[in-house]
Amino acid sequence: MKKISIEFFHDILCSYCFPMSFKMRKLVKENPDIEIVHRSFALISNLEDFKTMFGSREAAKEEILSHWEHANQIDELHRMNIEGMKKQNFLFPISMPSLYAVKAAGFVGGQSAYWDLFDSLQHAFFVENKNVEKHEVIYECVDKTDLDHKKWKEHFDSDRVKDAVYEDFKLVAKYKIEEVPTLVINGKYKISGAHPYEDLLKVINKISEEIKNIN
């Protein structure tokens, strides 16, 4: 496969991004020439979004968990603890704290560190049913990675991280991305949704051949 760069747009709160991250890790393992660049997308950027999308923050849980049900069916390992989340009494989180957290990880340790913290936060949310909006939960997830916590915290608290997340949002608008997960290949080809692995591989191979023929 000719080397290609894939921008992986996702949100820690995205139930379909949970199985997609697993598939993307498999893809990179089998095709080491593929470069993954992680990009931020906010499903719930502020409290007003709950009112707009669900009527209220309190009403969000039932509909969101129905999405979890379907996402769990396409997760190869069926890892999502839906019954556990039903028992939790915290309101569903907003996206921004965890998006800042993973972007800070990228500043400290590059894309691999970003990905490791992304997966750690998703595991905390979907499997352990922890509130990833809370800083103490984010700190716990950071400590489960190889990140230097002090260096990470300096970036997490910085305007640089916030600016970088909003630069990703500009790319969301540029690429006209309306859902996650979305893959943008070499800044041109867009794949939206959580596709079966074999279908995903076929599409990427086809795009790789098109790129090779153009060059």
End-to-end CA distance of the chain: 14
Q: What letters, b where the CB count within 10 A reaches 16 and e where it falls short, cover 109-142?
A: beeebbbbbbbbbbbbbbeebbbbbeeebbebbb
pLDDT tens readout for residues 197-210? 999 999 888 888 88
Instruction: Determine what percent of the chain falls in helix, strand and coil, rounding each to the nearest 5.
Output: 60, 10, 30
pLDDT tens readout for residues 7-18? 999 999 999 999
pLDDT tens readout for residues 69-120? 999 999 999 999 999 999 999 999 999 999 999 999 999 999 999 999 999 9
pLDDT tens readout for residues 190-200? 999 999 999 99
CA angle 176-181-184, nearest 5°?
A: 55
Confidence of residue 215 (pLDDT cuts 50, 70, 90): low
Return the pLDDT at 173: 98
- How do strand 182-185 and strand 35-40 relate by DSSP bridges? unpaired
CB neighbours of residue 22 within 10 Å: 17
Contacts with 195 (C-beta within 8 Å, 6 or more apart), sequence order: 203
